[in-house]
């Protein structure tokens, strides 16, 4: 006898959609405090460029994969907002690090060219299917790199605590929505790891900010 697929109740679907909407809405401004923090400090000291580039890769692949597979926009809309905010943070980081040069321009042009090719279908979808499994370790690596950067420098001057608080909170809401909906173990692992690492960055940055204030 074929197994009957369990359909979530209307109440569960309502809660899941509500949590998704909250996540997308909050992600719309998640990195705005970090942008203002950089502009206020006018220094990128403590910001890991490698971490940002890894995040951009992860968000870009996710957007292309979901778009090419025709998935519902609400299920991945937050990646659009986070990606644009990362672009701005990378620009400010390069600017305050005096790295705006031909090499940076060439790298940006190459990135946007490849990104457009994936979106417009010039690249076989099989490549995206092969790339998407690497998103979880790459996303985790981006946060680990930022955490290590803060610890190595012993400085969190340019880090926005509110941005990382939002990051930890939205990842946690995704855990709840997944548990109530698909209970997908791969997605759960991804967001559990992200929640732990975002919280670690938040607490570490808070420790060094408090230490600097006391000293």
Q: Does 3 map to a domain?
A: no
Q: Does 46 map to a domain?
A: yes
Cβ atoms of 31 and 89 within 8 Å: the answer is yes
Measured distance between the N- and C-terminal CA atoms of the chain, rounded to whole angstroms: 70
Confidence of residue 29 (pLDDT cuts 50, 70, 90): confident
pLDDT in tens, 44-53: 888 999 999 9
Q: Does 106 map to a domain?
A: yes
pLDDT in tens, 36-79: 999 998 988 889 999 999 999 999 998 998 898 887 777 678 88
Q: Does 116 map to a domain?
A: yes
**Residue reference for tokens 């490849």:** 114
Number of domains in the chain: 1
**pLDDT score for 96:** 94
Does 4 have pLDDT greater than 50?
Answer: no
Does 11 have pLDDT greater than 80?
Answer: no
Q: Does 4 map to a domain?
A: no
pTM: 0.81
Length of the chain: 215
Q: Does 67 map to a domain?
A: yes
**pLDDT score for 70:** 83
Q: Does 75 map to a domain?
A: yes
Q: Does 89 map to a domain?
A: yes
Domain that includes residue 149, residue range: 10-214
Does 1 have pLDDT greater than 70?
Answer: no
Does 197 have pLDDT greater than 90?
Answer: yes
What average pLDDT does the structure give for the chain? Answer: 86
Least confident of 51-65, 69-83, 98-112, 189-203: 69-83
When pLDDT is averaged across residues 135-158 and rounded to a whole number, the result is 91
């Amino acid at each position: 006898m074929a197994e009957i697929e369990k359909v979530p109740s209307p109440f569960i679907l309502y809660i899941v959609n509500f949590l998704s909407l909250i996540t997308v809405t909050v992600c719309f401004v998640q990195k705005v405090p970090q942008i203002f923090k950089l502009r206020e400090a006018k220094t990128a000291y403590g910001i890991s460029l490698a971490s940002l580039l890894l995040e951009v890769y992860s968000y870009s692949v996710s957007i292309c994969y979901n778009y090419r597979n025709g998935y519902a926009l609400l299920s991945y809309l937050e990646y659009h907002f986070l990606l644009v905010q990362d672009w701005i943070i990378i620009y400010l980081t390069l600017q305050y690090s005096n790295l705006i040069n031909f090499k940076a321009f060439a790298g940006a042009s190459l990135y946007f060219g490849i990104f457009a090719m994936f979106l417009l279908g010039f690249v076989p979808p099989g490549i995206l299917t092969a790339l998407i499994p690497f998103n979880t370790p790459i996303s985790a690596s981006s946060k680990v790199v930022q955490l290590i950067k803060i610890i190595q420098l012993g400085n969190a001057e340019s880090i926005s605590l509110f941005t990382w608080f939002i990051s930890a909170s939205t990842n946690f809401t995704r855990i709840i929505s997944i548990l109530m909906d698909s209970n997908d173990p791969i997605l759960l692992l991804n967001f559990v790891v992200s929640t732990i690492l975002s919280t670690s960055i938040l607490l570490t940055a808070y420790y060094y900010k408090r230490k600097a204030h006391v000293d």
